[in-house]
Structure 1
């Protein structure tokens, strides 16, 4: 160890065999005197602190040179070592065989042992509190050599400036201690490196800081034993918890833990940036590799559409932190970490594309033949739209994943689903086109399911319900941004068309039971016939449709209003013309004219609720009969 220090000193010294001009007597006398003073001054400082006893820890001493009480003495101690080094360099040049050189070398060894102990103590006692930027957010970018260079001479200048001193004094106590510790570590490392003891300094630094980083990663849930085989055998519910923990861990690790270690290493070894980079790499490499191997291993697991969102979370986390990763791990020594992060993005992207393909295939291969009772919302509609509305929240991530993955379809997509190419609202982004295509596939499947209803009017009600649900999901999510206003407007019109077709076809018998001109004069027998047909058609239609359902209150209300506007005005005119005094003298009028115009509204209030039995119509005058 001491030989190595000496080699560093001798390295820049002239060879003993090389002939050099003798110095002038005045210069020689002056230099010898100065060097002797330096050795004596160093000896006093070094032997004073060397005489203090050590405790059981080989690195720690009972009395600390670098404490608040010994601040001035610490500066003097380091200054003495610098003077001792100059004295040794002078002796090597002029008196290589001098006993004074051996004496100086011995003193240097003792001083380096003390500084090594002090370096260890400061690192260990402040391992949880070292903060190179106590009053600001950590930057993940590597600082320049000049920006964070903090040697002891800088510290002396800093102490002499009242304004800067006041800034330090205004900081909380913990931050003041942290800043002072950083100053001390930088000053010690500078002296040790210049004295040829870099190896000892680095060894102590790595021991302390690596143990801190490893403990921090462990507390964040970064498990080094969690390899690919274990991940593949995990139940999805367990792995999902691991993924959630990892999402928190990677944010803290990149933004705080690794970022802080980068800056601490650069500041402590500001005198030798290459050493700072080496220490940083050795301290975080193992943990960082473990951290970024996890998403890559997850991407190799079985892929099902239900796992899509966690895979996207992983992709998004790595992608969002990539600028910091690329900057922080820019050196050749950390290239493996960058490669791990890149591989994770590649594997996760491949997995997401596979799951999107599986999702599309699942829609195309849906073979459920059973119809939804009452024409309500089909499970396929709920599943697909809930899935796509969540997927739309990841539009930025998906844009990266599908950017170079063109959509392959058997024919051009219909304009109503994708807008006009000349329209600003038309769908153009790869993500928008793909999501619109998936919705179109589902709607085509719904058309086939609607055809399975025996009643055509129920088919239209089914289509109105399901398309209204689709439009509602689009409006309530980021799908609206991706698909555009034109898409929404066109599909809303289609919902109205389906609802209108339901009213026309579902209540056609009721409409045709009434005369075209309800106020025209017609024979009493025809009046009676119209009332009979109306009663029969209304009761038949109502009884059939009482179990039908429109889940959305707004759409249900719109349909009822449309229904009332088509039937009530005609029936009201006919009722007021022939249902009142005109038939009063007929004894059977109460059983023939069963419903007033207001009765129709009362019955329709319970229609399309899916109640099944509420408000059922019977042909007795006691149910919905007219009362005068």
Structure 2
């Protein structure tokens, strides 16, 4: 129907030895027509031609409404089909040579477009843009990866349209980065399917690696060897750590993540290519990034380095799921191994520093008693350290989960039960914190022996244990040690305070009559001796304790109230029953009755502020006067 039969005259002139002329099939006609159409558009965009103005433009520019790009990609795929046909059926055809030449011209154009697109969209294909639009791009990548190479060869225009449609579906006004990604993918698919994948990949690797390397540099990540870090002052290393902590989160969650998204999408047609590209682009920077913590962990370990070491551990640990996912390729296993080695080294360093910290407490050699029985510097240091340590309880749980407490410690347990016997402390971190506090308390036990006055040693214990309990109660330590631990040690504080009262005020308590009402029947001389004995014992206790201190306001008030309740009511009754009889019995004997009941409360309220607040008891205070040097807490003079 489409081709006529040869005429009879033609048939008669033919000789038996001549070959019959080649007859074009319908398929060949369509293929030759496609080659002509391809020639028209490909030569128009020939990079070596200086005739067409489009040579300086982009095939994928918005000015061309992307139609030219679609036609160009379709033409390349048609050329490829034509070449397959001629290779199979007419390998010597000039049409095959023509198609091959056109293919080379087309690849030169696409190679140039690919490079220009990567360069022109550098600011739109940055890591942050990739991360922000990750949902859309991941959807694009997912759909693209489901499309086989043969599908794209059969209908490149449909693939181009599906990409555009998907961009529109995911973003009402598609971003520049999404459009650029779609164009890069269409070029990569076309070049790879045409056998020019190496050229495409080479351009991509060079372009994107320079961007990643530059980002790593601007994040302040340096390739620092262990020997170099070891020679640096700790202050300088700390600065490096701060920069690294800022950099690692951005690098993993934004830089490497964004690069993985872009690689996976642009080269979704080939798993091996996308792995190769991502590995070459990101592996070097990632190895430098994750090698830093390991080198820090290998340096000399001292307790003051604990918290920065834990910061490094937490950063890598928190990012581990992303690291494992982003660098999940076999070719990036070294990156995962490096990050894991850093975690292991950092964990080892933390365990070593915990042991050294305990040893440092036990080896404290301070022998000077703290003035007034106040809080020991070791107590402050240890509890502040443990307070900060409690903020890292999650990481510490991982690190010391399999690290048992010491079993051969020589620590005494005179006042405290071992935390190993405390069922309330179930987690390894809780046990270790409780153990370190026990080490501290046992050390304080030795420091209490430096005081010659037993009452002051008990006050010292009350002050320090109160400081410990307060630190626990007002920090994350309370979550680790629990309410029972706090309540138990709070009770011990009150016990030490009671022991302080018993030893510190025993002579004052003994100077008061057991039954003031019976004392009214005493001989006058015995009453006078009663006042004399009280005056001497009270003045002696006040004078001795005027420089003693109770730093916690609540505990200070509790001790004052307790003393006032034990002294003032008994003295008040004795005073009211016997004061007048003493004054009447002998002129000038009013000097024996030096303190009114309310005066005692005023003097007691003046205690426990340290040497600066302490004063001397005046021996000339009349029975009708109130000490002028202090009126703080006069309510302690009342019975409660």
Q: TM-score over 0.5 for the alignment? A: yes
| Cα 1:459/1:200, change in 2 over 3 Å | same
| Alpha-carbon contact 2:70-2:160 (below 8 Å) kept | no
- Quick one: distance in 1 between partners of 2:147 and 2:349? 46
Aligned residue in 1 for 2:301: 303
Residue 138 of structure 1 and its aligned partner are, at CA, apart by 9.4
Aligned residue in 2 for 1:277: 275
Trace 1:386-397 onto structure 2 (pairs within 5 A). 386-397=384-395
Aligned residue in 2 for 1:618: 618
Aligned residue in 1 for 2:57: 63
- Quick one: distance in 2 between partners of 1:52 and 1:292? 46
Moved more, 85-94 or 289-298: 85-94
| Cα 1:624/1:47, change in 2 over 3 Å | farther
| Cα 1:139/1:289, change in 2 over 3 Å | farther
- Quick one: distance in 1 between partners of 2:296 and 2:124? 34
Moved more, 582-591 or 32-41: 582-591
| Cα 1:132/1:245, change in 2 over 3 Å | closer
Trace 1:206-605 onto structure 2 (pairs within 5 A). 206-224=205-223, 226-410=224-408, 416-418=417-419, 426-520=424-518, 521-580=521-580, 583-584=583-584, 586-605=586-605
- Quick one: distance in 2 between partners of 1:501 and 1:383? 26
Trace 1:17-28 onto structure 2 (pairs within 5 A). none
| Alpha-carbon contact 1:603-1:615 (below 8 Å) kept | no
- Quick one: distance in 2 between partners of 1:444 and 1:149? 72
**RMSD of aligned alpha carbons:** 2.6
Aligned residue in 1 for 2:85: 90
| Alpha-carbon contact 2:219-2:243 (below 8 Å) kept | yes
- Quick one: distance in 2 between partners of 1:303 and 1:322? 24
Moved more, 179-188 or 90-99: 90-99
* Counterpart pick for 2:117 among 118, 122, 132: 122
Moved more, 612-621 or 470-479: 612-621
Aligned residue in 2 for 1:35: 31
Q: What secondary structure sits across from 1:579 in the alignment?
A: helix
| Cα 1:144/1:165, change in 2 over 3 Å | closer
Residue 580 of structure 1 and its aligned partner are, at CA, apart by 3.7
Aligned residue in 2 for 1:45: 41
Aligned residue in 2 for 1:13: none
Trace 1:137-176 onto structure 2 (pairs within 5 A). 153-157=158-162, 159=164, 165=168, 168=171, 170-171=172-173, 176=175
- Write the deviation string for residues 562-595 of structure 1: whole angstroms up to 9, x where unpaired: 1111111111111111124652463223311111
Residue 140 of structure 1 and its aligned partner are, at CA, apart by 10
- Quick one: distance in 2 between partners of 1:142 and 1:135? 11
| Alpha-carbon contact 1:127-1:208 (below 8 Å) kept | no
- Quick one: distance in 2 between partners of 1:356 and 1:141? 48
| Cα 1:39/1:510, change in 2 over 3 Å | same
| Cα 1:442/1:133, change in 2 over 3 Å | closer
Aligned residue in 1 for 2:67: 72
Aligned residue in 2 for 1:6: none
Residue 353 of structure 1 and its aligned partner are, at CA, apart by 0.9
Q: Please, what TM-score do these two structures have when normalized by structure 1?
A: 0.89
Q: Please, what TM-score do these two structures have when normalized by structure 2?
A: 0.87
| Alpha-carbon contact 2:595-2:622 (below 8 Å) kept | no
Residue 416 of structure 1 and its aligned partner are, at CA, apart by 4.0
1:106 is the counterpart of 2:101 = yes
| Alpha-carbon contact 1:464-1:498 (below 8 Å) kept | yes
| Cα 1:160/1:378, change in 2 over 3 Å | closer
Residue 61 of structure 1 and its aligned partner are, at CA, apart by 5.8
- Quick one: distance in 2 between partners of 1:140 and 1:429? 41
- Write the deviation string for residues 204-235 of structure 1: whole angstroms up to 9, x where unpaired: 001111011111111111113x2222211111
| Cα 1:148/1:500, change in 2 over 3 Å | farther
Aligned residues: 588
| Alpha-carbon contact 2:144-2:269 (below 8 Å) kept | no
- Quick one: distance in 2 between partners of 1:165 and 1:356? 57
1:177 is the counterpart of 2:176 = yes
Q: Which has the larger radius of gyration?
A: 2
| Alpha-carbon contact 1:464-1:496 (below 8 Å) kept | yes
| Alpha-carbon contact 2:591-2:622 (below 8 Å) kept | no
| Alpha-carbon contact 1:427-1:483 (below 8 Å) kept | yes
| Structure 2 residues not aligned, in runs of 5+ | 1-21, 628-640
Residue 336 of structure 1 and its aligned partner are, at CA, apart by 0.7
- Write the deviation string for residues 156-212 of structure 1: whole angstroms up to 9, x where unpaired: 135568xx74763x33xxx52111101100000000001110000001001111011
